[in-house]
A and B are shown apart, each in its own frame.
Chain A
Amino acid sequence: MFARIVTSALFAGATAGLLIALLQYAFVQPVLLHAELYETGTLVHFNAAPVSAIQDVSGFDPMRDLLSVLFTMLTYCGYAMILVALMGVAEERGADITLRNGMIWGLMGFIAAHLAPAFSLPPEVPGVAAADVLLRQYWWFATVATAAIAMWLIAFHFTMVGVGAAIVLLLLPHIIGAPQPAEFTGPVPTEIGALFASRALSVGLAAWIILGAFCAYFWTKEGEAA
């Protein structure tokens, strides 16, 4: 089973990751590069002279952009490893894994790994003020883990107790609160920050649905081959 999980996760993560990298390059990267013009001080918000909202941030930086493609593929291979492992456990317990419900698995993964932490730690545009990175990472892992357990409870223990526990697990990290900065110092216009957050989340949603479908596809395909 280990070989089947790893093989299907690597195929799913690499192929989905490549598509996701293209989506990020087309829709997220230009907003990030625009924000970096303010982060580095090339542009200054609320200076004496108004700054044009249109900036040329096109262009392909081979080293930087190809590393992004590689790391996107690696990141989604990691996520695929987790998603396929859980699909395997669910299948052993009698669940059907299909291409269509793989998309729902992906949606659940998006809620757990992207939306839940973003509720209190929004996707960060470069230059934003933020609390200590290690504290944020602890909070991030704890929030993703509790949200993932909540998704599992909703999917496979749909009882009063199961759903009740899921609601508590989903709310708890946000009631405790994410580490926040003591003061705001971000030099980037709010318009860019908001666009960045909504682009990152929307591409993340598409990414996870693609990943879920690919994981289910390769998992069932590897199962037929065995």
Chain B
Amino acid sequence: MKTTAATMTVEDHASASRTGLASAFFALILGVGIIAVTGHVQAAALHDAAHDVRHATGFPCH
């Protein structure tokens, strides 16, 4: 259901804000996960492929 700001009740606002926070939280975890894989995981294939980027981006590399 599409709710406009004018018709939103206090409860609607509170629940929208809760799902908003949950969405932001999951996106944040996803982002940290991507950074860990591209920048930090030491598996040889990943390390070699990402080597130059890790150095240039200031991640601890070796």
- 9 A-B residue pairings within 8 Å (CB atoms): A28-B56, A32-B56, A75-B38, A78-B34, A82-B32, A85-B27, A92-B17, A123-B55, A201-B58
**A124/B61 contact (C-beta < 8 A), A74-B34, A75-B34 known:** yes
CB-nearest residue of chain B to A23: B56
A-B contact count, CB below 8 Å? Answer: 129
Give residues of chain B (1-46) contacting chain A, Cβ–Cβ below 8 Å. 17, 19-21, 23-28, 30-35, 37-40, 42
* Stretch from A42-50, A133-141, A165-173 that touches the partner: A133-141
Majority DSSP secondary structure for residues of B touching A: helix
Q: What's the Cα separation between A45 and B32 when bound, in Å?
A: 39
* Total count of chain B residues near the partner, CB < 8 A: 33
Write the nearest CB–CB distance from A63 to chain B, whole angstroms: 9
**A137/B40 contact (C-beta < 8 A), A81-B31, A200-B57 known:** yes
Write the nearest CB–CB distance from A200 to chain B, whole angstroms: 5
Q: What's the Cα separation between A19 and B39 when bound, in Å?
A: 19
* Stretch from A51-59, A64-72, A100-108, A151-159 that touches the partner: A64-72
